[in-house]
Amino acid sequence: MSIQLEHAHCLIIGSGPAGYTAAIYASRAALKPVLYQGIQPGGQLTITTEVENYPGYAEGIQGPEMMVDFEKQAVRMGADIRFGLVSSVDFSARPFKVVIDEEKEMTADAVIIATGASAKWLGLESEQRLNGFGVSACAVCDGFFFRGKEVAIVGAGDTACEEAIYLSKLASKVHMIVRKGEDGMKASKVMQDRVKATPNIKIYWNSETLEVSGDNKVTGAKIKNNLTGAVEEVPLSGFFVAIGHQPNSDLFKKWLTMDEAGYIITQPGTSKTNVEGVFAAGDVQDKIYRQAVTAAGSGCMAALDAERFLSGLGHI
């Protein structure tokens, strides 16, 4: 099969809040951006139900609907939004080479990477079935909906401890499920101490979740103690998974500098990567905040950085 060729001044890879915001700003800067949506158009927000913490939506909005709004605005500004999956890149020289769906090759003067990150899950059928219906991978995003109710959180790192403490301020009780014993907990000593000192957090050591209960919403979880073999059914309204995120960055490992977890490293205060003309925005380079609003903000930064870069080359 012959490979089709096409050139773009600015190519955006990814379509969550970061990618769409980059497309809006790049369009307004006359960069004529081409955006490829990837395998999950709209990103993680398309598997989120109610979003109440994004400015401008006074009554809240469904995650998928919000991403449709973002896409419509980008198209109205002039962005060329396309369905397709980037299968390989070559950042060795400009113009950069990008192959889509293994059959179409594009070249680009600037590339904005906004491929996001994927939450790690336990692998339970019930967990996926109830995702968005009481199961969540973001306490900051969804904890508000469980004010005064009992919830569980799975994890043993600093993030899990931080989210457990966050949830403890909203929920009546937090059941924290830790796979290993106290000596195997990954979190720093100070975070462990804070969790243990929080009266409405109950820790289940050496335990794992067998199943999240419920038909159309979470009603509980079956927790097994791996030392005794005892199984306990705990009534719950919410079930949070905090075992980490995986940045969707494998495609770029040959070219870009990343940290040990695979997050793309950008120059402080910018979206610039180690390759001049390649920029990163959103969760693929943010392991701290991971919020829609911060992703959108970094998408704006990436478009502005790309505009300045292309202007310096005389392309605009």
User: Within this chain, do residues 90 and 103 fall inside the same structural domain, yes or no?
Assistant: yes
Q: Establish whether 300 is a catalytic residue.
A: no
* pLDDT for position 30: 96
**Choice among 16-25, 47-56, 193-202 with the minimum mean pLDDT:** 47-56
Tell me the pLDDT tens digit for each residue of 84-112. 999 999 999 999 999 999 889 999 999 99
Tell me, what's the pLDDT at 46? 73
Choice among 10, 69, 109, 138 that is catalytic: 138
CATH code: domain of residue 236: 3.50.50.60
Please report which confidence band the pLDDT of residue 1 belongs to, taking 50, 70 and 90 as the band edges: very low
Q: Is residue 141 annotated as part of the catalytic site, yes or no?
A: yes
- State pTM to two decimals: 0.80
The two tokens of residue 221 are 């979880």
The yes-or-no verdict on residue 264 having pLDDT over 60 is: yes
Tell me the chain's radius of gyration from C-alpha atoms: 21
Question: Which of 10, 109, 141, 305 is an active site residue?
Answer: 141
Rounded CA separation 118/121 (Å): 9
> What is the pLDDT, as a whole number, of residue 244?
86
Q: How far apart are CA 56 and CA 186, in angstroms?
A: 38
Pair 303, 294: CB distance under 8 Å: no
- 235 with 170, same domain? yes
Burial 100-124 (b: 16+ CB within 10 A, else e): beeebebebbbbbbbbbbebeebeb
Q: Is the peptide bond before 199 cis (omega within 30 degrees of 0)?
A: no
Enclosing domain of residue 266: 4-118+245-313
Question: Is 292 found in the same domain as 154?
Answer: no
**Helix/strand/coil percentages in the chain, nearest 5:** 30, 30, 40
Distance (Å, rounded) from C-alpha 195 to C-alpha 179? 16
Let me know: does 143 contact 162? Beta carbons within 8 Å.
Answer: no
Whether 138 is catalytic is yes
Q: Which of 199, 225, 241 is the last residue of a domain?
A: 241
> Rounded CA gap, 225 and 51, in Å?
35
Domains contained in the chain, number: 2
Taking CA atoms, 192 is separated from 176, 207, 271, 292, in Å, by 12, 17, 34, 28
Residue 315 pLDDT > 70: no
First to last CA, the chain: 34
Which pLDDT band holds residue 316 (cuts at 50, 70, 90)? low
**Segment 28-37 mean pLDDT:** 97
- Do residues 132 and 23 share a domain? no
Based on the domain organization, do 145 and 94 belong to the same domain? Answer: no
Report percent pLDDT > 90 for the chain.
81
Do 140 and 232 fall into the same domain?
Answer: yes
Closest to 113 in 3D by CA, of 251, 288, 5: 251
